[in-house]
Chains A and B, each alone.
Chain A
Amino acid sequence: MRGPGFVALLLLAAALVFGAARLVDNPYAFFAGYVVLQYVVLATAWNILGGYTGYVNFGTAAFFALGAYTTVALHKLTSLPLPAMMLAGGIVSGAVGIGTGYLTLRLRGTYFSIATLAMAVVVQTLITNWSFVGGSRGAYVVRPAEVMGLDYVQYLFLLMLALAVIAIATARTIERARIGTGFAAIRDDEVAAEANGVPTLRLKLIATALSGGLMGMAGAPLPYYVTYLDPASGFSLSYAVNTIAMPLIGGTSSWVGPVIGAVLLGTLQQVASVTISSALSLLIVGLLLVGFVIAAPRGIIGWFGK
């Protein structure tokens, strides 16, 4: 299918999702749906770097929280509309991605992974010690009741839905473009790719910036969603675990995998944390991740041939 046709289909699917959520007529549907959509964005973003080029990012929480704290800072300084703040959060996180990547992407992939873990702690320490955005005590953000006649939670849901469409369209475009071939060459044999004239460092930096930027955009609406944000929840390890588990469980070779993984695991967690407990639902994610990487290395999409 051609690009514009695919985007039209995605928009149609998004409209159906929003219509269905309106039909349920229960505010909780939007609260829970927002989280699932946020994970669709995060998993798709992670997969652009992790699945396509083979570089594992453990620092999702840092990119995500940087987006959220950019919003907190802008909320105190300006009265920009939320979409503009999302763009700003994306730029900040993308820039941090380029910085970390520039320092470590020339080394073996393992070092990049360890560096992203390290980066997450450094960023968390900086935010915890920065009192302007609330420091360790956290920050409150007052949420307007509605925007343009639309309930604010529905507005947040709609923004995240739009971001999910953008993320999926970006991932699919990369897969089918020349740049996607370059990414795959890096994943399969980086030395051979370099020897054949693939600009590996530049491609890796592009992937890191795109991936980190999308994560930052996904985090930007968070302060308005939770209305109270502290470093411990913004930088929670569960973001990193979920965004790695979802693509690996769904399958990393195509844009469909992260989406399947995010919808399945995201919904499962929403149900499990209401019916059982949130700690237990996280344990389930961990066990599923380990089980899938051992027993089903190609993820769910691997079961359908191809």
Chain B
Amino acid sequence: MDLLSLDLLGNALVSGLLLGAFYAAVTIGVSISFGMLDIVNIAHPAFIILGSYTAYIANTALGVDPILASIVLLPAFYLLGMAIYTIYDLAFERRGDASIRGLAFFFGLLFITEVALVLVFGVDYRLVEAPYIGPSLTLGPVDLPLRLLVPALVSLGLIGGLQLFMRHSFTGRAIQAVAQDPLALRLMAANPTRIKRIAFGLSIATASVAGAVLIVIQPVEPSIARDYIGRVFAICVMGGLGSFGGTIAAAMALGVVESLTSTFSGPSWSPAVAFGFLLLTLALRPAGLFGRS
């Protein structure tokens, strides 16, 4: 391999890792809802796009930094998540009918969000402005574009914060327990429905920040939510459902593979990579690369 393609390879690897950190932030909400609560929220990517658009509005109308705006908006997304869980719980979980109709419910939410965004904003690509979009750091032959580096750091910070919360707070531990044994949780005087509502609220709250970093990395239009469904579930399953460390590792693996694919065979193939990964994971190792089988 000559020097030029070695440079290309190095750059592809680095941007793959940065992209992977961002994919982890996109997936972390699903790791909570699907991995821990067993709620198949396929609408999660649509809430991420919603997060992109709220960051976009804050950025263009008020001139606020998109990532800062998304952090301010965390409580709003948290409440949205709690509201959705309340409906889901009343309509499906209590009736013991969560499978088909629950899936259709989230599929409907995905579709409604997408069509509503199309009606309000149209199908044009939208982008934001921030000082870190454009310049890049240069380390020897490798370029570190800040528009990838900042989102990667924010993503890792988000996941780190969540991990601390899950490890050290009573509510966090209760969330981890609720999927395993709701009855035991009730014996510890915690109400499983309330815990699940909080957890689902948290999972949707992550969509605010993930959406903001998404629109920093790439221009956004409503239908790109669909491209992320495959990525998100591929990473979540590969990462072993609900393990945060596994999610980061799987996200970075996918980021690197996608970045190599788009550098060496063209970007039009990269969606197929994620879904191909997912199909292979489901077929060969459904417990995930890092999960307990």
Contact = CB atoms under 8 A, between A and B. Distances in A.
Given A109-B99, A289-B108, A297-B97, A117 B42 contact: yes
Contact of B100 (A54, A104, A107, A119): A54
A119 B279 contact: yes
Contacts of B112: 283, 286-287, 290
A132 to B, nearest CB: 16
Interface stretch (A79-87, A122-130, A138-146): A122-130
Interface in B101-119: 101, 103-105, 107-109, 111-112, 114-116, 118-119
Contacts of B272: 121-122, 125-126
Nearest to B99: A109
Contacts of A103: 279, 282-283
Contacts of B223: 237
A51 B197 CA distance: 30
Q: Name which of A117, A121, A129, A240 has the most chain B CB atoms within 10 A of its CB.
A: A121
B271 A121 contact: yes
Given A103-B283, A280-B119, A283-B119, A118 B100 contact: no
B145 to A, nearest CB: 26
Contact of A121 (B104, B115, B227, B282): B227
Interface residues of B, number: 42
Contacts of A286: 108, 111-112, 115
Interface residues of A, number: 44
Contacts of B95: 297
A115 interface: yes
B212 interface: no
Interface stretch (A2-10, A31-39, A70-78, A241-249): A241-249
Contacts of B283: 103-104
A290 B109 contact: yes
B101 A248 contact: yes
A241 B111 contact: yes
Interface in A89-128: 100, 103-104, 107, 109-111, 113-115, 117-119, 121-122, 124-126, 128
A118 B119 contact: no
Given A282-B115, A283-B119, A294-B87, A118 B104 contact: no
Interface of B: 40, 42, 87, 91, 95, 97, 99-101, 103-105, 107-109, 111-112, 114-116, 118-119, 223, 226-227, 229-230, 233-234, 237, 268-269, 271-272, 274-276, 278-279, 282-283, 286
A106 B244 CA distance: 26
16 contacts: A50-B100, A109-B99, A111-B282, A113-B103, A115-B279, A119-B279, A122-B272, A125-B271, A237-B111, A237-B223, A279-B115, A279-B119, A283-B112, A285-B111, A293-B104, A294-B87
A56 interface: yes
Q: Describe B's contact surface by its main secondary structure.
A: helix
A115 B278 contact: yes
A58 B211 CA distance: 24
A46 B259 CA distance: 36
Contacts of B286: 107, 111
A290 B109 CA distance: 7
Contacts of A285: 111
Interface in A28-61: 50, 54, 56, 58
Contacts of A122: 272, 275-276, 279
Contact of B230 (A117, A129, A136): A117
Given A107-B286, A122-B272, 4 more contacts: A110-B40, A114-B282, A126-B272, A245-B108
A114 B233 contact: yes
B108 A119 contact: no
A7 B227 CA distance: 43
Contacts of B109: 290
Nearest to B91: A294
A293 B108 contact: yes
Contacts of B269: 125, 129
A135 to B, nearest CB: 9
A251 to B, nearest CB: 12
Given A104-B282, A283-B116, A118 B230 contact: yes
B267 to A, nearest CB: 11
Given A110-B40, A117-B42, A117-B230, A289 B104 contact: yes
What are the 4 tightest A-B residue pairs by CB atom distance, in nearest-first order? Answer: A125-B272, A118-B275, A290-B108, A286-B112
A114 B229 CA distance: 9
A287 B112 CA distance: 7
Contacts of B91: 293-294
B268 A129 contact: yes
Contacts of A58: 42, 107
B268 A114 contact: no
Q: Name which of A58, A119, A122, A129 has the most chain B CB atoms within 10 A of its CB.
A: A122
Contact of A237 (B99, B104, B226, B233): B226
Interface string A261-286: 00000000000000000011011011
